[in-house]
Amino acid sequence: MKPILVFQTDFTYKEGAVSSMYGVVKTVDRELEIMDGTHELPQYDTWSASYRLYQSLQFWPEGTIYVSVVDPGVGTHRRPCVAKTADGYYVVTPDNGSLTHVKKFIGIEAVREIDEKVNRLRGKGTEGVAIFHGRDLFGYTAARLASGIIDFEGVGPEYPVEEIVEHPILEPVIGDGTISGVFEINDPNFGNLWTNIPLKDFQNAGFAYGDMVHVTVKHEGTVAFQQKVLFHQSFGFAKKGDPMIYNNELMKVAMAVSQGNLTKDFNLNYGPDWTVEFTK
């Protein structure tokens, strides 16, 4: 069976960019199956592209080709690439930080720079276009790879995995009865905030389901939230409207408001300057 193609971008559906990408794929091979990851990534946010890629990639069938296009440097010197993961997936993306989490938490076996002389859309009057590599380079190359027109070696020249551009990933700090980290991403629809603290580290620091935990959130060193919060497995254990701590889908500690919106209700957000400390 031919690999599934999954696309994530910051394009939205407000105009024809996504449709054009998919049209190119079907022009290469009408049999290819195209699925959406998301087209609502924050604009220009390669950190979010990296995180969402890691969040969903592992749940697709082995061999899936994931096309991730958040490309603020489109048309410039950043490398367009295809990465082969240690567990048999392919990621087609600009090498601009979007491979950070996949490299760290899954592993990348090899990476190749897309050879634009071979793997670029031709004959559609787009040869002079420098601002739509999602259509002319990434979508086109992914379709050629999925259809078998090229193999991985046919993408272009290999370069060292060590040269992949990465964002810094902060690690939690664990003490006796205390642990601190950052809010590294959000759940935008519900306003939840996900930390960089693995559940096992949280439990090793002495926290258990049912505990009331003292939480201090700071933004650039200034306290933005401070109160005792319930830690439990899921939202229904907290009263409606109450903040709570829970174990999210990636086995990391997160915070929410039961049937509410943590980011809006308490004016919180994510990023390296949003620190959170949990104390017994």
**Same domain as 226, residue 132:** no
The label of the residue with tokens 């990534």 reads: 41
Contact 184, 39 (CB under 8 A): no
- Is residue 40 assigned to a domain? yes
**Same domain as 92, residue 64:** yes
Q: Where does 80-191 show beta strands of DSSP type E?
A: 80-85, 90-94, 108-113, 158-159, 173-174, 178-187
**Same domain as 178, residue 155:** no
Q: Which of 145, 163, 181 is the last residue of a domain?
A: 163
In this predicted structure, what is the pLDDT of residue 94? Answer: 98
Q: Give the pairing type, strands 222-231 and 212-219.
A: antiparallel
**Same domain as 148, residue 207:** no
For residue 218, the enclosing domain spans 173-279
CB under 8 Å to 247, separation ≥6 — which residues?
A: 199, 233, 253, 254
| Domain harbouring 129, CATH code | 3.40.50.10790
**Same domain as 209, residue 147:** no
Q: How confident is the model at residue 164 (pLDDT cuts 50, 70, 90)?
A: very high
**Same domain as 21, residue 48:** yes
- Is residue 274 assigned to a domain? yes
Query: Does the structure show a pLDDT above 90 at 176?
Result: no
pTM for this model (two decimals): 0.95
> How many angstroms separate the CA atoms of 58 and 52, rounded?
11
**Same domain as 187, residue 134:** no
Q: How confident is the model at residue 127 (pLDDT cuts 50, 70, 90)?
A: confident
- Is residue 168 assigned to a domain? no
Provide, rounded to the nearest whole percent, the portion of the chain with pLDDT above 70. 100
In this predicted structure, what is the pLDDT of residue 64? Answer: 98
In this predicted structure, what is the pLDDT of residue 256? Answer: 98
